[in-house]
Every structure is written in C-alpha cells, then in structure tokens.
C-alpha cells in the first residue's frame, strides 16, 4: 500500500514536469543507444578481423621442421667430461618432410574428446608455368569437405565449386591474384612444375580470395591426392595435420602434449597469432570506456533535473512531511523518480541500440579483401544489452541518490514558517 502510494506520488511529480523528465530520459536513451551500437559494431568488426585469420587457422598445427638434431654425437660422447664442446656449422640432415605415421596420428586425434576435427594438409612448393615465365607459388593439398567444415573453405571460393576439387581429378582452385597474373579463367588448364622437376597439368575449377592479397598471389588449393601425385609421393604423405579444438583456449596445453606424444613439432594459435588478441581487447576496452562515459554524462543530467525538481517541490516535500511522510518515504519518492527515468530511458535505449545496429547492419560494405562481407559487421551479443540495461539503472540510481537524500533531510518547519 505504502509503496504503491509512493510510486503514485513519484509518477505525479514526474508528469507535472514531463518535459524535463523527457529530456532526462532522452539523455539516457541516447547514451544507451550509443553504448549498445558502439559495442555491437566494434565487436562485429573485431570478430570480422579476427575471423580473417582465426577461422582459417588451425588451433594446433602439427608439422615437421627440418632442423639440426638436438642431440649431437659429441655431446653424447663427452657427456661426463668437465670440458665444453663447441660445434660449428652443423647442417640438418636431408629428411623427408612428411609426418611419420600420419594415419595413426590422425585416427588417434579424432578420438580425443577435446578435438572438434582434424584436417590433413600437404604444402608443396611449385612453379606455375606461364609461357616462358615461371611464377613461384604454393599448392596446398587439402581434403575439401573437412577443410570446409573446420575452416569455412567455401567462404573464400569466390567462383567455381569447391567440391570439384574432390570430384574432378587433377583440378586446382587458384588464388584470385594469381589467376589474374596468369590470365586464366575457369576450365583452363595450367602447368605446374615442382621443385624436383616433376610437371603436371591441372584444370582450374575455381578461384579463391582470402582477403590477404599476398596469399592470393601465390597460393592455390588442390586435393590431397592430386598433390601427392604432383610430388610423386605415396598415399600416406602428409606434411601438416591441422587440429581444431572445441575450446580454443586449450590450444597451448594441447600443442605441448601433442608435441611430446607424437614426436612432431606443434604450434598453437595463440603463439602463432598473438597480435590479434591484443588488438581486439584494446578495441573493446575503448568501446566500453566511451559507452560508460556517455552513461555517466547522462547521469549528471538526471542529477541536475532532480536537484531542480527538489527546489521547485520544496513546499510539497514539506507538506508531505507535515502530514506524516517520513524522510525515508520522501527518499523513496525521489529514488523512484530517478529509477523510472532510468528504466524508461534505458529500455528505449536498448530498443534504439537494436534498431541502430540493425540499420548499420544493412549498410553495404564491399571490399576486395573481404569477399564474404557485404554489409557492415554487427555482433548482436545479448551481453551488451544486459550490461547497458544494468548500467543505466545503476547510473540513474546514483544520480537520484544524492538529490533524494537532500530532499529527505529537508526540515518542513523552515519551509512552512518561511511563508
């Protein structure tokens, strides 16, 4: 009963000054709208830029690096002597680049509970023959289906069908930049030579555009089998095993474990791309800082309006106290006023934020480097709305707190006698 009455009084005071109230509410609405939009847009952009690399990169990559042996014979021989060994100009042994026992490793990895998927890959250095000129490049041998499931391969194939890699023997998908250099179109045949001198004719079935021009100028994709044939290698020749985990954060630990367990080299995504993480977190930090500043400014607006309202309503407060409303009741009245402004303004702001961000989502955004993106990226993360909503209530509460305390401590005698 009492709370209902207090709320009624608060609403009446609000409506009596509805223009000021509206201005205060618009302040909150504006700041929440901007807060939500800014964060959605910024995070959308972050996700886009990160996805550019992170989506296409394995969480853990297993490979074999040609390097000198860590255990040199002299070290073993003189293990117990007190002197030091100095060895200069050690050269790596000519070893095969493929991962030993790759079939077993892949099937074991596929059974691991942490692993989302495994995609084998072969990297082959080649020359593309264009008339009398040879262009250096790389052909990646992949399993198209698995590559698409784990790394969204199809998103980057701008023309042609990626499944043709599997269905048409000796086929290749060329980088867009490379295709332009070679002036070939789909259906043409290109000649490639491996570093060992093997030659093969490959049919172009599509183009891909990764967003990174340097890559598009040198790389092509072919199926594993085609690449093995190109290299003259056996059917178990695999140079890389790409592992995608269910939880990306587990990558560093998993990489270490795989490295020692399978006796191969392993690198995790965090080590390989540490710069992206830093960039994203700084950008979100800036968005939050700007958003919260906007809210605090709106809070000062509410503070001012409530303060003015208290001076205007001094008489009303005094008489409420004289007829039996306690200081705590008066306090509640003004806190309710502030919170009503906050909740109303905040709710409108959340709607406004949703509207504005979906509007931005419709704005065309075409760039050569990002073939899959047609409009500005927006991340509709519900957390932004929750944070915005909670923050609008907290700010308005504090904006109302001090004026309300002042109102509750008004001495009715001074005001009534003053007349």
Residue appearing with tokens 């295709």: 179
Contact region for another protein (CB under 8 A) — 70-78, 267-275, 297-305, 319-327? Answer: 319-327
**Which of 68, 328, 359, 390 is in the footprint of another protein by CB under 8 A?**
328
Q: Tell me the closest approach of the beta carbon of residue 336 to another protein, in angstroms.
A: 14
Q: Which CB atom, from 118 or from 306, has the smaller least distance to another protein? A: 306
Indicate whether 338 belongs to the interface with another protein (CB under 8 A).
Answer: no
Query: By CB under 8 A, what part of segment 160-179 binds another protein?
Result: none
Burial 306-332, CB ≥16 within 10 A → b, else e: beebbeebbebbbebbeeebeeebbbb
The correct pick among 316, 340, 357, 395 for binding another protein (CB under 8 A) is: 316
**252 or 327: CB nearest another protein:** 327
Which residue lies nearer to another protein by CB, 2 or 366?
A: 2
Per rule CB under 8 A, count of chain residues that contact another protein: 27
CB 29 within 8 A of CB 349: yes
Considering only 40-48, 265-273, 322-330, 386-394, which stretch makes contact with another protein by CB under 8 A? 322-330
Q: Does 318 bind another protein (CB under 8 A)?
A: yes
**What H or E segment, with its residue span, contains residue 126?**
strand 115-130
Binding segment for another protein (CB under 8 A), chosen from 130-138, 272-280, 310-318, 366-374, is: 310-318
**Sign (positive/negative) of CA torsion 335, 338, 342, 344?**
positive
Does position 309 interact with another protein (CB under 8 A)? The reply is: no
Residue (386 or 414) nearer to another protein, CB = 414
Burial label, 409 (beta-carbon count in 10 A; 0-12, 13-18, 19+): exposed
Q: Which residues pair with 193 in a beta bridge?
A: 127, 199
CA distances from 212 to 125, 218, 265, 353, 368 (A): 19, 11, 26, 32, 10
Residues 23-42 that bind another protein (CB under 8 A): none
Can residue 324 be called a binding residue for another protein (CB under 8 A)? yes
CA proximity to 130, closest of 200, 183, 54, 206: 183
Please state whether beta strands 219-223 and 133-142 pair in parallel, antiparallel, or not at all (unpaired): parallel
Q: Which residue stretch of 54-62, 323-331, 338-346, 352-360 sits at the interface with another protein (rule: CB under 8 A)?
A: 323-331
Piece in contact with another protein (CB under 8 A), picked from 77-85, 176-184, 316-324, 390-398: 316-324
**How far apart are CB 383 and another protein at their closest, in Å?**
40
Rule CB under 8 A: is residue 308 a binding residue for another protein?
no
Q: Where are the beta strands (DSSP E) in 260-359?
A: 265-268
Q: Minimal CA–CA distance to 295: which of 43, 42, 38, 21?
A: 38
Query: Is residue 2 a contact point for another protein (CB under 8 A)?
Result: yes
312: closest CA among 247, 231, 407? 407
Name the residue with tokens 């023997």.
Answer: 169
Q: Work out which of 13, 109, 182, 224 binds another protein, going by CB under 8 A.
A: 13
Reduced to 3 states, what is the DSSP secondary structure of residue 235? coil
* Residue 329 makes contact with another protein by CB under 8 A: yes
Q: Does 90 bind another protein (CB under 8 A)?
A: no
CA nearest neighbour of 208 among 138, 263, 255, 275:
138
- Report the alpha-carbon distance of residue 121 to residue 225 in Å, rounded: 11
Q: Is 419 in the site for another protein (CB under 8 A)?
A: yes
Output the smallest distance, CB 329 to another protein, in A: 8
Part of the chain binding another protein (CB under 8 A), chosen from 32-40, 83-91, 301-309, 318-326:
318-326
Which range binds another protein by CB under 8 A, 8-16, 20-28, 262-270, 375-383? 8-16
Q: Work out which of 84, 323, 363, 382 binds another protein, going by CB under 8 A.
A: 323
321 binds another protein (CB under 8 A): yes
Binding of residue 405 to another protein (CB under 8 A): no
Q: Which of 162, 258, 325, 344 binds another protein (CB under 8 A)?
A: 325
Binder among 15, 76, 113, 363 for another protein (CB under 8 A): 15
Contacts of 106 (CB under 8 A, 6+ apart): 118, 120, 238, 241
Within 8 A by CB and 6+ apart from 170, the residues are 200, 201, 202, 203, 226, 229
* 3 state SS of 120: strand
- The residues binding another protein (CB under 8 A) are 1-2, 5, 12-13, 15-16, 315-316, 318-329, 411-413, 416-417, 419
């Amino acid at each position: 009963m009492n709370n209902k009455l207090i709320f009624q009084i608060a609403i009446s005071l609000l409506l009596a000054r509805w223009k000021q109230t509206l201005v205060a509410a618009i302040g909150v609405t504006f700041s929440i709208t901007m807060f939500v939009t800014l964060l959605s847009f910024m995070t959308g952009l972050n996700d886009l830029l990160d996805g550019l690399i992170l989506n296409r990169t394995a969480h853990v990559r297993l490979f074999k690096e040609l390097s000198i042996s860590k255990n040199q014979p002299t070290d073993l021989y003189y293990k117990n002597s007190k002197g030091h060994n100095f060895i200069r100009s050690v050269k790596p042994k000519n070893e095969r680049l493929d991962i030993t026992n790759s079939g077993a490793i892949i099937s074991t990895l596929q059974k691991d509970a942490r692993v989302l998927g495994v995609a084998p890959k072969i990297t082959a250095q080649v020359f593309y023959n264009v008339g009398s000129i040879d262009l250096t490049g790389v052909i990646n041998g992949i399993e198209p289906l698995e590559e698409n499931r784990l790394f969204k391969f199809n998103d980057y194939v701008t023309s042609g069908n990626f499944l043709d890699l599997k269905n048409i023997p000796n086929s290749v998908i060329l980088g867009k930049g490379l295709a332009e250099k070679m002036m070939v179109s789909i259906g043409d045949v290109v000649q490639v030579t491996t570093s060992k001198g093997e030659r093969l004719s490959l049919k172009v079935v599509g183009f891909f555009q990764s967003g990174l021009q340097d890559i598009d100028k040198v790389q092509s994709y072919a199926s594993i089998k085609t690449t093995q044939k190109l290299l003259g290698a056996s059917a178990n020749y695999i140079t890389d095993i790409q592992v995608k985990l269910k939880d990306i954060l587990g990558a560093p630990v998993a990489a270490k474990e795989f490295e020692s367990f399978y006796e191969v080299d392993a690198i995790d995504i965090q080590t390989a791309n540490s710069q992206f993480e830093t960039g994203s977190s700084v950008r979100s930090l800036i968005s939050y800082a700007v958003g919260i500043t906007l809210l605090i400014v709106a809070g000062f607006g509410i503070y001012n309006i409530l303060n003015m309202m208290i001076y205007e309503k001094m008489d009303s407060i005094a008489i409420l106290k004289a007829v039996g409303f306690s200081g705590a009741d008066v306090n509640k009245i003004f806190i309710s006023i502030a919170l009503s402004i906050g909740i109303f303004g905040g709710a409108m702001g959340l709607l406004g934020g949703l509207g504005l961000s979906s509007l931005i989502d419709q704005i065309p955004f075409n760039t050569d480097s990002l073939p899959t993106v047609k409009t500005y990226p927006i991340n509709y993360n519900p957390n932004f709305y929750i944070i915005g909503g909670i923050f609008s209530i907290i700010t308005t509460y504090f904006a109302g707190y001090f004026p309300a305390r002042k109102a509750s401590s008004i001495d009715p005698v001074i005001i009534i006698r003053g007349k």
